[in-house]
Structure 1
């Protein structure tokens, strides 16, 4: 073979193999991969941002526990507070639950003992507690208000045929006045006092809602005071088994009650099968917290409550009267700074 021809063949083969090697490199996609690496980094950054945004959907609380003192198991306090506690647990990841109690006075004493973080109470009991009056031997200092809630209606119930047409007719009768030192009992004393009466004029039984309803059903009571939002479940149940009657508390009597938290309101017709509205006295309920809870915690809890009123209304219709406007107008003691910050933003 001609030597020059041999060299030409060798050179041609070398160039051919080199070209094949370049094609193979392109087929592996290595160059494409190298060019796409920055895009992968960009994608990872976007993923990290999305994750951070997702984790910030709800605030956190400094406290790990939010125990809400309520009242009897069948009352609106307990029903509404249970929904609120469930919401706090879900929204903030805390251990929030309700505690069934004798209501207002007991709840305020539990606040003083730092056994609970939050409580539903009646405004009359709250004012007495911070002033150290009536059943409170000394002022309770570590409590501040979060909100004014909805009116509690004094419901003086009896049965047709009892002969009781007015508060004065309770003289000598067996009357349930609420659990001892409860908000119901505090209101009962005020109503009797407005009629120039006292416990000396009646035969007193200290019974809560369910117990009073059961005693009346069994013929062991002539009348009972119940103070709650409308309707009261125990009264509704009692209505099905007795000929229920609601005793009026007249507006002119309410006007003699000096405290600002008393208001003349009507129990609407057909609340308990009553054909006409019945006049009575009402006291605004209050939601309170311990003063030592942080401003941020109380701000977040206040905001959550007002932004989720629909769920509270679904649990009990009394909550339909809760509003930011009413709350700001009906405070009776110092407002917690966290709640005040929320109101200032409205």
Structure 2
């Protein structure tokens, strides 16, 4: 015969377990980019910190087309958080091209710099941006942030995408195409060292296409949200450090996202930067206080955390 007291205790225990935070994890989606760049492993490391330290939340990294697409995916609710380029995220917030209307996003904090890798094989006749004219170029995925920077670089050399034969593929596939000779150059907007670039350099001798000091200065004067980044020689085994065009990366979310949720995620990531950097070297570039200098407004939940630091 069923003992009523035993049954009641079982019901109470079951209800307690159902109410437990361990049974009520909200899964969050972190938008990254295509495989072969830096966004996915950075997003994976950030997600691991959320899984470990944000009580009541779990997070999974999601492959996307990258920095240009991610604000749109945030805006339509397909993602909860995402990595974005500072420039394209600002364009999205303001409703500037390539975005038709403003997207209600807010920033969480800064991440590493992405640099524009324009790479060819050693011995190629492509040694300058002007040499890309008429060439086959793997330009990254159609929704990636690469296209904006590459377009601006080509513009100061009187070129446009009409002057090249673009291949819109992931960084990994683009650099594979470079290795097998299907394209003359491959492009990636990524932190360094970029996995796709490293992979190609293990099977072929590569060379970086030079933008030139004058070209870099002209781009920065025209587009001040970009930056000039010195990449150490050991990153790719070059004879000297590389001077490349870059842009800061940021974390973004919906402008109306729950404040407590954003606070918990921000704290999980930015209170453990040493652990973040131990898992992903790009995180060593993060300066938490730079969050106050992002052109995209800081979310109130993120601001609460940074104000407490």
Pairwise TM-score range, normalised by the shorter structure? 0.7 to 0.9
In structure 2, the residue matched to 1:72 is 34
Aligned mate of 2:65, from 102, 105, 126: 102
1:123 aligns with 2:76: no
1:267 aligns with 2:231: yes
Instruction: Tell me how far apart the structure 2 counterparts of residues 180 and 224 of structure 1 sit (CA, whole Å).
Output: 14
Instruction: Tell me how far apart the structure 1 counterparts of residues 37 and 52 of structure 2 sit (CA, whole Å).
Output: 23
Normalised by the length of structure 2, the TM-score is 0.87
Instruction: Tell me how far apart the structure 2 counterparts of residues 332 and 252 of structure 1 sit (CA, whole Å).
Output: 26
1:314 deviates by: 2.3
After the TM superposition, which residues 179-258 of structure 1 pair with which residues of structure 2 at under 5 Å, given as runs? 179-257=141-219, 258=222
Structure 2: give runs of 5+ residues left out of the alignment. 1-20
Query: How many residues of Structure 1 are paired with residues of Structure 2 in the alignment?
Result: 285
1:276 deviates by: 0.8
In structure 2, the residue matched to 1:42 is none
Aligned mate of 2:137, from 175, 185, 188: 175
Give the greater-gyration-radius structure (CA).
Answer: 1
Normalised by the length of structure 1, the TM-score is 0.78
1:132 aligns with 2:88: no
After the TM superposition, which residues 1-346 of structure 1 pair with which residues of structure 2 at under 5 Å, given as runs? 64-91=26-53, 92-141=55-104, 143-257=105-219, 258-329=222-293, 331-346=294-309
Deviates more, 1:188-197 or 1:279-288: 188-197
1:274 deviates by: 0.7
1:295-340 deviation line (CA, Å, top 9, x unaligned): 22212221221121122212321111012133333x1211101111
Instruction: Tell me how far apart the structure 2 counterparts of residues 311 and 182 of structure 1 sit (CA, whole Å).
Output: 28
8 Å Cα contact 1:83/1:311 also seen in 2? no
8 Å Cα contact 1:145/1:334 also seen in 2? yes
1:128 deviates by: 1.6
Structure having the higher helix fraction is 1
1:208-250 deviation line (CA, Å, top 9, x unaligned): 2100111011110111111110100111010011111112222
Structure 1 residues 110 and 345: alpha-carbon distance in aligned structure 2, compared to 1, 3 A threshold: same
The 3-state SS of whatever aligns with 2:169 is coil
1:180-217 deviation line (CA, Å, top 9, x unaligned): 12111222112212322101221111122100111011
Structure 1: give runs of 5+ residues left out of the alignment. 1-58
In structure 1, the residue matched to 2:17 is none
Instruction: Tell me how far apart the structure 2 counterparts of residues 116 and 106 of structure 1 sit (CA, whole Å).
Output: 11
1:99 deviates by: 0.8
8 Å Cα contact 1:76/1:316 also seen in 2? no
Instruction: Tell me how far apart the structure 1 counterparts of residues 94 and 158 of structure 2 sit (CA, whole Å).
Output: 24
Instruction: Tell me how far apart the structure 1 counterparts of residues 38 and 280 of structure 2 sit (CA, whole Å).
Output: 7
Q: Give the CA RMSD over aligned residues.
A: 1.9
